[in-house]
Amino acid sequence: MTQEETQMANDSTQSADLKKCIGCAKELPRTEFWKGRGNSLQGRCKKCHVEFRKQYGFKRKPKERKPHGFKALEDETQKEIIELINGGELSKNKIAQKFNIHPQTFYYWCRKGTIH
């Protein structure tokens, strides 16, 4: 093997040990990349990957959650239910029937502490 062939073989093994980061565009050793799916490696080096992940959370807007359960009822209805429960005049079953709420749902709200 000539010296040129040896140098070409060394260059090919060295380039196989290096990978280019898509974040910083540097050629780094393969140990500087986290493992991806299968036998592949991530496209960004560990440092760029961490920075990218930190920025990702700020780009997304949190979803607005619609009120559900007892809180989905109108404010006046909520106040009236609370007054009836605190008054103790009607049973929970009767209160549920009055507001057209399934009794099991109403009992669940009471057990869970949703109704104060």
SS3 content of the chain, % helix, strand, coil (to 5): 55, 10, 30
In sequence order, what are the beta bridge partners of 45?
33
CA angle 103, 108, 114 (to 5 degrees): 120
Task: Please check whether residue 68 is in contact with residue 62, taking contact to mean a CB–CB distance below 8 angstroms.
Answer: no
pLDDT at 4: 56
- Note the pLDDT tens digit of each residue in 13-66: 455 689 999 999 999 999 999 998 888 999 999 999 999 888 776 666 778 889
Q: Does residue 1 contact residue 23 with C-beta atoms inside 8 Å?
A: no
Whether residue 10 has pLDDT greater than 70: no
pLDDT in tens, 77-107: 999 999 998 888 888 899 999 999 999 999 9
Instruction: Provide the percentage of residues in the chain whose pLDDT is more than 90.
Output: 41
**pTM of this prediction?**
0.45
